[in-house]
Amino acid sequence: MSDLPSSMFAVIQSHDGYSGTATGPVIADAADWLENATLPVSAPGAGQVLIKLRAASVNPSDIHFIKGEYGQPRVKGSPAGFEGCGDVIATGPGAEALQGLRVAFVAAGSGAWAEYVVTQAQMCIPLRPDISDEDGAAQIVNPMTAMAMVDIARKAGDSFVVSAATSQLGKLMCSLGRDLGLKPIALIRRAEAADMIRDAGAAEVLVTGDAEMTERFAAISADLKPRVFLDAVADQQCEQVFCNMPNGARWVCYGKLSTELPKLTQMGQLIFMNKRIEGFWLTQWMMSTAPEDQMGVVAEVQARFADGRWKTDVSERLTLTDVVPNLADALKKSDGKVIITP
């Protein structure tokens, strides 16, 4: 460690634990949740690596997390940010194979919004040279989730429903679905995004604000018979979508973009139509999926980014020092990721 810097700039969390609120992945001012700090650079322990950051992405989960609304407690004073890419510049015992490699990583403990990150070697994926740093910074959370969830849909039928389809994850799932010969039914908020999402791979596009949306969905559902609803919105209209799906349909909630809490209106469907409501969390998928199967998914993800079938749309670029003053405004832009660089 002697030739490594002793201190680093980091964007740290100002709060501990859970907040008990459910206000969604939006912020008025990042300074309510984050502050700048100079922290010591830690040495990697057993099975860990030290990464020099190239780029980090901002996901809704990062915003849920800093607000204390995610499935893990915050640690006050610890850098924020779950995902990024960078160069492994030091390794602990057992992680030597990653020394010197450019990797995509998920931060476990010390966050990605810092000049240096310590994480587990298991949370790192060496990147092919033909993948850009920006694609590398968003290579795990959304792409792996897209692969895992479209696989759930593929096993259940020829069509599936995806809400918030203009999200990065929604676009990845529409294009993957089309490539697998499936018919994605996309639910979007912005009518002007309909052509874009059709081009991305959606077979049908419905705008959630349309007065006839539920009736139109019911007709499409009767025709295409989608058996899986991949839902990141989870509001009352989503419950109505689920109610208009056929026998055996599964409502897979994987995000909570809406702050509205839906009521269940058709309990009989769970009994008589074998319908199911469930959740999906990538962390759980990683813990329960065999390493060789995960490696197959990783290889396919990188191949799709390398040949251009998938890409990371970028809405705004911030340096680490810009995050606290400018993140809230940067997140207001639709259709793309905020990318943070050192």
CA distance 28 to 212: 33
Burial class (CB in 10 A: 0-12, 13-18, 19+), 9: middle
The answer to the question of residue 65 lying near ligand NAP (CB under 6 A) is: no
Give the residue with the Cβ less far from ligand NAP, 190 or 317: 190
Distances (CA, A) of 318 to 86, 323, 328: 16, 6, 11
Which one among 281, 296, 321, 325 touches ligand NAP, defined by CB under 6 A?
281
Nearest to 246 by CA among 173, 159, 149, 178: 159
- Rounded to 5 degrees, φ, ψ at 188 are -130, 160
DSSP 3-state of 135: helix
198 contributes a contact to ligand NAP by CB under 6 A: no
Helix-helix angle 141-156:168-179, to 10 degrees? 40
Determine, following the binding rule CB under 6 A, whether residue 61 of this chain makes contact with ligand NAP: yes
254 contacts ligand NAP (rule: CB under 6 A): yes
Q: Out of 48, 110, 119, 142, name the contact with ligand NAP by CB under 6 A.
A: 142
State in angstroms the smallest separation of the CB of 173 from ligand NAP: 9
CB-wise, 88 or 165, nearer to ligand NAP?
Answer: 165
Q: Tell whether residue 145 is a contact of ligand NAP (CB under 6 A).
A: yes
Closer residue to ligand NAP in complex, CB, 228/233: 233
* Residue 46: both structure tokens together: 């057993």
- Write the DSSP symbol of residue 310: S
- By CB under 6 A, residue 201 contacts ligand NAP: no
Stretch that binds ligand NAP, among 92-100, 104-112, 195-203, 249-257 (CB under 6 A): 249-257
> Candidates 43-51, 102-110, 167-175, 298-306 — which segment interacts with ligand NAP by CB under 6 A?
167-175
Which strand ranges, in their side-by-side order, compose the sheet holding 250-253?
Answer: 204-207, 183-188, 159-162, 228-231, 250-253, 276-279
Q: Which of 189, 198, 216, 276 binds ligand NAP (CB under 6 A)?
A: 189
Helices (H), 57-207: 60-66, 133-137, 141-156, 168-179, 194-200
Return the number of the residue (50 or 282) whose C-beta is nearest ligand NAP.
282
Give the binding site for ligand NAP (CB under 6 A): 59-61, 141-142, 145, 164, 166-169, 189-190, 193, 232-233, 254-255, 257-258, 280-282, 334
